[in-house]
Amino acid sequence: MEIVTLTHPEGGRVRVYPYGAHAAAWTDPAGQEILFLSRRSRFEPGAAIRGGVPVVFPQFADRGPLPKHGFARVVPWEPVGESADTVTLRLADTLETRALWPHNFRAELRISLDRALTLTLRVLNTGDAPLEFTAALHTYLRVGDVRRATLEGLRGTRYLDKVEGGEPRMEEHAALTVAGEVDRVYLDAPARLRLRDEALGRVVEVEQEGFPDTVVWNPWVEKARALEDLADEEYLEMLCVEAAAVGAPVRLEPGEEWSGTQRLRPPDPRPSRQGSRTNSLTEAPAGV
């Protein structure tokens, strides 16, 4: 498959597949892999890449009549602008997309690398009727051991818990821990979260703007076994923290545009920040 590689003078490197506009792997300036990519991932037409940052559009999950997570992740996007550290990929409606989803649109994903990795999804209604969509940047973050990782920043946020049949809940814990299947849509989520990874001794910050919601997903043992493109134990090495517009569909009038951004900040190389690890882990963890 065609690959575009982004590089940054400080040493970061991102591998992008125009197929699905998929940022599949990112090595930060310190040489650490920040994204999870399954060793069983298929790289073939018709299959979504398992890991990295799949683009979910124009339907999140099975919330509508389209194939799960829409079609954007399983079609080629066109690179329309590229420099050493940035690429923009474009997808417009075709006969095939209109057969599934009867709208004229243009979507662009801009992937940009400095110390951080920034992904901006833009959607423009190029037709003469309103359209609605849901979307997500379905980011798979790599962790050393998900049982020893905490996601901080969601306390006080309402969420829909798919594992509990879509029940609305309120997050009570400052630090979310994963000890079972997690599949939640946090509604009107905070703009910044921190993934603290005790096993790898690092913190990755996840920021979003434009996307109102955040999805947190780990399939855990049984669901991981059912996924052919995920090795049985790999669920321990990943946590999806997804910038999403899911709670309410985005509606665009003709000519209107929407955009949403997710920014991933790698661990700070300065030892002082890593040193804060012990204190925050004394926070009572949530049993999920």
Which residues contact ligand TA6 (rule: CB under 6 A)? 48, 61, 68-69, 138, 162, 183, 215, 217, 242
**CB of 120 or CB of 218, closer to ligand TA6:** 218
Provide, rounded to whole angstroms, the least separation between the CB of residue 256 and ligand TA6: 26
Is 69 an active-site residue?
Answer: no
Token pair for 70? 């829409």
Q: Are the C-beta atoms of 131 and 103 separated by less than 8 Å?
A: yes
Is 205 an active-site residue?
Answer: no
Instruction: Spell out the residues 6+ positions from residue 270 whose beta carbon is closer than 8 angstroms to its own.
Output: none
Q: What are phi and psi of 95, to 5 degrees?
A: -55, -40
Q: Are the C-beta atoms of 40 and 51 separated by less than 8 Å?
A: no
Residue of 8, 69, 138, 234 marked active site: 138
Helix (H, G, I), strand (E, B) or coil at 136: strand
Provide, rounded to whole angstroms, the least separation between the CB of residue 242 and ligand TA6: 6
**CB of 8 or CB of 22, closer to ligand TA6:** 22
Provide, rounded to whole angstroms, the least separation between the CB of residue 142 and ligand TA6: 16
**CB of 61 or CB of 264, closer to ligand TA6:** 61
Provide, rounded to whole angstroms, the least separation between the CB of residue 184 and ligand TA6: 9
Give the E-state strand segments of 143-270 in sequence order: 149-152, 158-161, 167-170, 175-177, 182-186, 192-197, 202-209, 213-218, 238-252, 257-265
**CB of 39 or CB of 68, closer to ligand TA6:** 68
Any idea which residues carry the catalytic annotation? 138, 242
